[in-house]
Every structure is written in C-alpha cells, then in structure tokens.
Amino acid sequence: MKVIYVLKTLLVDDLDNYIIDDLGNYIEMGGWTGEIEVSTYTLFDLTYRLARELEILEESTATANGSSTTVVDTYRDEDDDYFNDGTLWLVRDNGGTGALPEGSYSIVQDYTQSTGTITLRSDLPAATGLGDKYAIASKRIPHHVLVQGINNALFDLGTVPYTDITSLTSASSQTEYTLPLAAKADLREVWQQVITTDSNDNRWMQLPNWDIQQANTGTQAVLVFPYQPLAPSYDFKLVYMGAHPEMTEYDDQLSEFVPLERVLYPAVMSCLRYYKNRVRGRDAILIDERIATYEQKVEMAKIRHPIPIPARQGKITFVPEGVSIDTSDAINKVYLV
C-alpha cells in the first residue's frame, strides 16, 4: 500500500479553500510552502492611512529646507500652537526616490505661524527639505491613540502565519528537537531541506506524522518524529500560527498576510469611540452613525479579505509496528514492510 500526501491546501478564516475578490469572483487557493514576501505596509503607512480615513489630515508641501526636527511651510495660516501635540508624517521626499525622512513621523512640539515653522518633539531620520510632501493632524486624535487603535485591531485578529527556517537543523540519531517558543502553540507544517549545497534550490519536502511533546508554560516544547529525518545538518522549515507583534516604531512592518482593511477599519472604530468619549456626548449621533458604518465595513472586510491559514499537518497517519517511512523524496511515501 502507498499513501501520497497531497494535503497542502491553503485555507481561509471560514475554513473554505477559496476567497472572493472585489468583483465577486471565486478564487481557489493554491498550495502552501510557507514562503513569505516582505510587507510594504509599515506603522507609518497604517497611522497615515488611519488619520486619512478619519478625515483629520491636512496635506501640504514644505516651502524651505528644514532640519531633522523642523518642517517649514510659510503658506500655513493656522494660529500659533494649533498643531501642538499633533502628528506630522513625511509622505514623500522632493526627489521622488523614497529617501529619508520619507516614511517617518513625529509628534509636533510647537507651531509658529509667523515663520511657518513646525517644530517636532523627536528627530526624524534625516533633515526635511524644500518640496517635501507632508501631512499633519491636530491633537484631536493623538498619535498614541492612532497607534493603540492599530494594535488593538492586530490583537483582535487572532493569529497569522509565520515561517521559521533558521531555528532547527537535523542531526544523526536524533528524532526529537526543541521547538522555538513561538511555534509551540499552533505548529501547522514541518518541511525539511533536501539539498544543502544551493541556497536557491533547497527542494523542501513536507514531513508527515510528526507530533509535539508539550511543555510547561513558558518553556519550549519538543518536536517528535517516529522516524529519523534526513541527517545530518538539513534545515527544518516550521510553518506555524502566532500572534502579530505590537507595532511601536514607524518602520515596523505589518505581516503581508494581514489585509490592510482588516486593521484599518477596526482601528477607525477604536479612534471614533475614543473621540466620542473625549467630546462627552457632543455630536454623539453623528459619531455613532460613523461607527455603525465602519462596523459594517469590518464585517465585509472579514468576508472579502480573509487571512490565509495553512492547513494543519502532522499527526495525519498512524504508523504501526513494522512500518517505515521513506523521507528520501519530496512526496513522502509511506510503505508497508
């Protein structure tokens, strides 16, 4: 008897193996190898888009060179101190090359209308210049509330996929391996390198029938195989689900598996509730209407932008006495002997 493992379906939140795009088309998910790409969304992007969604931004262009702690815009006509304790985002550098300080932000320390000088509380990673595009918001919804709303949304998401190809390496006469702590709770797939001489041709193969020997809280669990994996010195790839880390710095990246809408819309609701409490009932009806609108957007985003979830592998077969598993090829055949 031969069993070929083909359980590599990529699932979504509702455990279906398809998603629905913006046009209502059904898209079948493909195979999952645990490979990831670098996310293009940072905390800068998220706070900037959140402020824009809240309609609290004013965007403009620097009219003179500034410094790492100042932006100069002589066209501003707000009263002195209007933007104090608000937030300033450097949206685009004048050269259009993405050079710093583009993509960074800081809290406003002081605003002087007569000189058009916006002084920042902390240094940007580079000096601002003539022609730099920036966005600014007053303290109506402070920066820390924007960040808190985003992190609350990330927490409410639950878990997202992660891949680890550096923590474990096979050894001869070893079938038990200490897992990284992050992979302890919800390990989904285990792969092993087949080729070690070419970093671009690892020939990852998925390993069947592993188990996890759990440990006490805060200590590492053990990955257990009922057979000897390829050894020695073949890397393991671990695909697991884990909580998204909090984002604190402007260049912290959002997991590419998290659609922007799944964070943005809940964060808008969080900020609107903060603002409603701050104004103590004034315009409460209008704020409640906006919150209700975004509640609907949140529910729609869950349907239209699901987070991919790799199918759980591992203890999927029973290997009785007298059965051996050949891990020498990439399809993991099981043979009776």
Environment class of 140 (CB within 10 Å of its CB; exposed 0-12, middle 13-18, buried 19+): middle
**Is 335 found in the same domain as 231?**
yes
Together in a domain, 150 and 132? no
3-class secondary structure per residue, 162-217:
EEECCCCECCCCCCEEECCHHHCCCEEEEEECCCCCCCCCCCCEECCCCEEECCCC
Tell me the mean pLDDT in the region 68-85.
Answer: 97
Task: Return the closest-CA partner of residue 221 out of 184, 169, 168, 187.
Answer: 184
Q: Which residue has the higher pLDDT, 282 or 238?
A: 238
- Side-chain half-sphere of 309: how many Cα atoms within 13 Å? 20
| Residue with the larger pLDDT of the pair 169 and 34 | 169
State whether 11 and 82 are in the same domain: no
Residues 130 and 187 in one domain: no
Find the domain containing 127 and state its range.
Answer: 57-139
Count of CB atoms situated within 10 Å of the CB of 330: 13
Last residue of a domain, one of 122, 139, 156: 139
**Which residues have C-beta within 8 Å of that of residue 292, sequence separation ≥ 6?**
none
State the pLDDT confidence band at 52, using cuts at 50, 70 and 90. very high
Listed residues 110, 139, 168: the one ending a domain: 139
Give the count of beta carbons closer than 10 Å to the beta carbon of residue 312.
Answer: 15
112 and 252 housed in the same domain: no
Same domain for 331 and 192, yes or no, is: yes
Tens digit of pLDDT for each residue in 215-272? 888 788 999 999 999 999 999 999 999 999 999 999 999 999 999 999 999 999 999 9
Residue 18: is its pLDDT beyond 80? no
Residue 95 pLDDT more than 80?
yes
Residue 74 reports pLDDT greater than 50: yes
Q: DSSP label at 203?
A: -
Q: Where are the beta strands (DSSP E) in 84-194?
A: 87-92, 105-112, 117-120, 133-137, 159-164, 176-178, 187-192
CA distance 188 to 328: 22
| Terminal-residue alpha carbon distance, the chain | 10
For the beta carbon of residue 55, count every other beta carbon within 10 angstroms: 8
Last-in-domain residue among 139, 161, 183: 139
Computed over every residue of the chain, the mean pLDDT equals 85
Residue 5 pLDDT = 33
pLDDT value, residue 218: 78
31 and 17 within one domain? yes
Looking at the structure, tell me whether residues 1 and 109 fall in a common domain. no
| Residue 329 pLDDT greater than 70, yes or no | no
Is residue 20 scored above 90 in pLDDT?
no
pTM value > 0.85: no
Q: What angle do CA 163, 166, 171 make, to 5 degrees?
A: 120
How confident is the model over 190-196, as a mean pLDDT?
Answer: 95
- Give the per-residue pLDDT at 51: 97
Are both 63 and 206 inside the same structural domain?
Answer: no
In a domain, 46, yes or no: no
Average pLDDT over residues 305-332: 61
Q: How confident is the model at residue 13 (pLDDT cuts 50, 70, 90)?
A: very low
Do 150 and 195 lie in a common domain? yes
Whole-angstrom CA distances from 183 to 87, 222, 252 are: 37, 10, 21
Q: What is the pLDDT of residue 185?
A: 86
Strand partners, 80: none
Whether the Cβ atoms of residue 3 and residue 161 lie closer than 8 Å to each other: no
What 3-state DSSP class applies to 232?
Answer: coil
Q: What's residue 219's pLDDT?
A: 81
Answer yes or no: is pLDDT of 214 > 50.
yes
Beta bridge partners of 128: none
pLDDT band at 283 (very low <50, low <70, confident <90, very high): confident
pLDDT above 90 as % of the chain: 71
